[in-house]
Amino acid sequence: MAQFSRTLGRWDPLRVAVVTLGLAALLMVAAYGFDLISAPATPGGAAAALAFVAVAGVGLLYAWRLGAGGLVE
């Protein structure tokens, strides 16, 4: 347990949060893609998927701006 605690202490909480949210976003897009196998795409569903990808992309660009925080080395 002590080794696990030391390992967690070395991780940057911001990076862990970003990876977790990224995996959740990837899972949602994969679920939408899997749904396309069983049912045809609708214009509303395609617009929602594109909007989701656009918002996630803008958030990613915002997070990578100069001086955004986290580890600055």
Residue 18 lies in a domain: yes
pTM score > 0.75 for this model?
Answer: no
Residue 33 lies in a domain: yes
Structural domain harbouring 45: 2-63
DSSP state of 28: H
> Hey, CA dihedral for 15, 21, 23, 25, is it positive or negative?
negative
Task: Indicate the number of domains in the chain.
Answer: 1
Residue 23 lies in a domain: yes
Instruction: Report the interhelical angle of 13-38 vs 43-63 (nearest 10°).
Output: 160
Which residue, among 54, 64, 69, 56, has the nearest Cα to 24 in the 3D structure? 56
CB 25 within 8 A of CB 56: yes
Residue 68 lies in a domain: no
Residue 73 lies in a domain: no
Question: What tens digit of pLDDT does each residue of 8-61 get?
Answer: 778 777 778 878 888 898 898 888 888 888 888 889 988 988 898 899 888 877
pLDDT at residue 65 is higher than 80: no
